Amino acid sequence: MKELSSRVEHLLILGAGASVDYGLPTWDKLVILIEKKFMEDKALKYKEEILSWLRKVGDGKEYNTIDECITKESRSRNYRSNGLTIENYIFLIMKIIFTELYKENEDGWINKLNQKILDSNNLENKIAFINYNYDNVLDKNILLFEYLTEKERKVDYRSRIANLSAYVQTFYPHGNFYSEQESQSANRLYRHLKTKKSELQDVIDAISCHESEKHVLKMYGTKKLYILGLGNGLQINLDNIEFTPYSISEIHVTIKNKDKKDYIIDFLNKKFGIPAVEIKIYDNCDELIEKCFN
C-alpha cells in the first residue's frame, strides 16, 4: 500500500503519451518503429515471430497496444518455450529506439512544470506522481533544472533546487525497465510486482502494465487528479489502482483520440463520481500544465 499525505493536493498520473514532448513515441507509433527497425536491420533476431505479433496490434485488431500483445502472446501455447525470450528482445529493441529518439527539450511540459514549481510557494510539497510510463523521461527531467541558466542553477536557485529534489514523490505501479544485472536476478519479477523502483539507464527487459497487480493508494485529504498521456491504457491502468479513501475534487485529462472522449468521460465519472461537466479535457500535456498550474 502506498500512502499520500494530506499535504499532496495534485496527483499526476502519467502514461506513454507524457513523453511525446521529449521525442518518444506513443504505443501505436512504437509498433511502426519496431517494424521499421526490423526492416532496416536484417540481422535482428526473432524477426518472423515479432512481426507476426506486431501485425495483431492496432485499432480493430486483436490487441489495442503492443503492451497488451506482449503480455498475451509471450505466454501463449505457440511460444511455450521462447515467449519470454522474444518479449525481452522486443524490450531491447525498444531501448534502442528510445535512445535514438530521446531529445532534451527546454520547452517540454516537465520543464515548464519545474519552472512553475520554482516560481510557486511550496508547490513541490503538494505534488505527487503515479508513473505508468515505459521510459525514464520523468526521471531524467523532473526537478533536475539543468535547463536553467548557469547563474540560475548555481546562484539564484541553489538552495531551493537542493530542497526540491527530496520532496516530489513518484509511484511506479508496474515498475519500469531493469538493468541487465537485475534482469538476471531470481528476484527480479518479485521486486517488479512489489513496486520497487530501479535505475532506468540500461534498459533490457520489463513487465508490461497489463501484467500489473492491483495496488492500493491510500489518500488523505482532497486531491486534484491530472491524467496525462494514458491513451488506450487509461482504463486498464486506473482499474489496477484502488483509491481508498478518496476525495477527488477535480479531474483534468489529456485525450488525443477525440472519438473516445465520451467513453473516457463516462468511465472517469463512474470511477470517481465526478460530474461529466467537471471533467476537463486537454489536447496535450503542455496545455494541461499551462492551464492548471498558473
pLDDT in tens, 61-99: 999 888 889 889 999 999 999 998 898 888 888 888 988
Q: Name the nearest CA neighbour of 290 among 107, 135, 65.
A: 107
Q: Which amino acid is at 228?
A: L
Distance CA 129, CA 127 (A): 7
Distance CA 267, CA 172 (A): 22
Q: State pLDDT tens for residues 132-152.
A: 876 678 888 888 888 888 898
Domain 2-24+104-173+212-292 belongs in CATH node 3.40.50: yes
Distance CA 260, CA 235 (A): 12
Query: What pLDDT is attached to residue 167?
Result: 67
Distance CA 247, CA 274 (A): 10
CA distances from 177 to 28, 80, 123 (A): 19, 23, 29
- Label residue 178 by pLDDT band (50, 70, 90): very low
The total of other beta-carbon atoms located within 10 Å of residue 40's CB is 8
Map residue 279 onto helix, strand or coil: strand
pTM: 0.86
> And the C-alpha cell for 105?
527539450
Distance CA 294, CA 192 (A): 36
- How long, in residues, is the chain? 294
Q: State pLDDT tens for residues 200-212.
A: 334 345 567 777 7
CA distances from 194 to 40, 96, 173, 250 (A): 38, 27, 8, 29
Distance CA 194, CA 188 (A): 10
Name the helix (H) or strand (E) containing 14.
strand 10-14
Domain limits, the chain: 2-24+104-173+212-292, 27-101
Inter-residue contact 125 to 7 (CB < 8 Å):
yes
